[in-house]
Structures are given as C-alpha cells and as structure tokens.
Amino acid sequence: MSKKFWLMLCAGALALHAGAALASTSLAVSAAPANSAENTVRQTLLRLVPKAEVDQITPAPIPGFYQVIASGHLVYISADGKYVMNGDLIDGVKGESLTDDAWASYRKTELAKVPVSDRIVFAPKNPKYTVTVFTDVTCPYCRVLHQQIDAFNKEGIAVQYLAWPRSGVTGDDGKPTQTYNEMVSIWCSADRNDAFTDAKKGKLPKQVDCKNPVKDQFDLGLKLGVTGTPSVYAEDGTLIGGYLSPTEMLQAVQEHSATGG
C-alpha cells in the first residue's frame, strides 16, 4: 500500500478521506491523545504509509490542517486525521505557491547542516552566489554541467556538489553499486576536485575507501525529494532546475539570492 500511496502523491492525484482508508487496515496503532493534534496527524500518515519517515509536522496555512514532510513528500493532513490532501497550495492573493515556499525553507535548513568539508566545491575567488548540486558521475547532463564549471565560476557562481548515485547505494544483490563505489573513491581521493573532474570525463577513479559522506548525502537527497540528477538548489532552498546553462543559472540564482543580484 505504501508504494502505491506515494506514487499517488507523486502524480498529484490524492484527495482521499482518511477515515475510509483507516477502516480498511488492520495495522495496530496506539490511539493518539485527544489533545494532541500533531500526534493524530502523525498516526494518520503512518497508518496509510507505515514505513514513512516523518521529518516535519507544522501548522499549515490552511486553517485546521497540518503540513507534513515525510520521505521526500509534502502533504496536508487535517488536525482530526480525517483528510489527507496533496497538491500545490496557492496563495490566492499573491498568486504564489505556498507549497514551494515550504519546501524551499525546509531544504535550506537541511542543506545548511552539510558542512562544506563534505562537499566538492568549485568556486571563484570571491563568489557572489552559491548553488548546491546533487550529482552523479555517470549522468550525461551532470557531465555537461561540469564541462561548463569555469563559465559558472566566471559568473561569480560557486558550485557545491553533493553525491547522489542514481543507481542507489546498494543493488538488488545487497552489494554496493558500481556508481556508489566510484563516488566513494572520489570523495576519498587525495584531490577530490581532480578525481571528480576526471570521472566526469569518463576516467574511473582509483578505488579507495575511507570514512565518507556519500550514503548520508544520498539519503539526504531522498529526504529532500531528489529523484534525478543533476538537481540544482539555490541559496534559499528553491529547486531551480536540472541542467542549466551558465546564462540560465545566473538568472535563476539572482532571482533567489539573498542579495537580490
């Protein structure tokens, strides 16, 4: 049920009455205290998706609802647990997406927890802007983006890479995937930047291992809703695109920069 439920969320097709769904499940969940709306909301989601990892529950802009971020998805659940809604919540006055704003705020907070020392950074001497890019060493558009790294830097944009092996951390056989091993080797190289650039050109890194952040960064990507690479985030946490040309990147970062360009 959980996979189907999340697929429905991704497709934006969910508008269900949670009471009916709860009646159809035999999963035993302890009753939430009557005065705890947050716990009611949490239990409602976990009844529907038992394996969901609930990361944040906050009051929603809609009266009587809570905003829930769980396992890379954002939904709205009524305080009494009767209704679950998925979709883009729009401010009818400003015409702005409140859902996008909520995601951006959450992502900004979570990305800020990743130390620069765990990233692979290509930056000009005095960067005006910074983007965070979840990347894979094998994806074609990731390679095209990195081929233009000098152009991004020339525009004053620092590019900070996080690892996100598209094939996952482990395969169906339970063993680490080849891409994961390659990215670990890059992050463990004496010169990460050179190893990273070589890998983008198709040159496999020398296999080495060490304590590294690759799995943690992959898991973070899932938590933030990353589904492919490259995924490019502006300083305010907004997803500004997959591949962007230097001109497009500059325009996007100026729009979402704290300095306003």
- pLDDT 10s digits, 209-223: 999 999 999 999 999
Give the Cα-Cα-Cα angle 255, 257, 261 (nearest 5 degrees). 70
From 47, 119, 166, 188, the catalytic residue: 166
From 42, 107, 119, 136, the catalytic residue: 136
Confidence of residue 36 (pLDDT cuts 50, 70, 90): confident
Structure tokens at 73: 């998805």
**166 catalytic, yes or no?**
yes
**216 catalytic, yes or no?**
no
Alpha-carbon span 60 to 78, nearest angstrom: 9
**What pLDDT sits at residue 90?**
95
Beta strands in the chain (DSSP E): 15-17, 54-59, 65-70, 73-78, 83-85, 120-122, 129-135, 157-163, 231-233, 239-241
Whether 24 has a pLDDT exceeding 90, the answer reads: no
pTM listed for this prediction: 0.84
Question: Per mean pLDDT, which range of 19-23, 135-139, 198-202 is the poorest?
Answer: 19-23
From 107, 142, 143, 188, the catalytic residue: 142
Q: What does 160-207 look like in DSSP terms, one character per residue?
A: EEEE--TT-SB-TTSSBPHHHHHHHHHHTSSSHHHHHHHHHTT-PPPP
**What pLDDT sits at residue 258?**
61
Query: Which of 123, 83, 103, 125 is closest to 225 using CA atoms?
Result: 103
Whether 228 has a pLDDT exceeding 90, the answer reads: yes
Alpha-carbon span 197 to 204, nearest angstrom: 10
Question: 241 by DSSP, 3-state: which?
Answer: strand
Q: What are phi and psi of 43, to 5 degrees?
A: -65, -35
Omega prior to 140 cis, within 30 of 0 = no
**139 catalytic, yes or no?**
yes
Confidence of residue 18 (pLDDT cuts 50, 70, 90): very low
Rg (CA), the chain: 20
From 47, 119, 139, 188, the catalytic residue: 139
Sorted by where each starts, the structural domains of the chain and their CATH numbers stand as 2-91 (3.10.450.70), 110-256 (3.40.30.10)
**What pLDDT sits at residue 205?**
87
Whether 25 has a pLDDT exceeding 60, the answer reads: no
**What pLDDT sits at residue 204?**
86
- pLDDT 10s digits, 94-140: 999 999 999 999 999 999 999 999 999 999 999 999 999 999 998 99
Classify 260 in phi/psi space as left (phi over 0), alpha (psi -120 to 50) or beta: left
Question: 120 by DSSP, 3-state: which?
Answer: strand
69-74 average pLDDT score = 94
**What pLDDT sits at residue 22?**
32
Q: In which residue are the tokens 């690479």 written?
A: 229
Confidence of residue 35 (pLDDT cuts 50, 70, 90): low
Average pLDDT across the chain, whole number: 87
**10 catalytic, yes or no?**
no
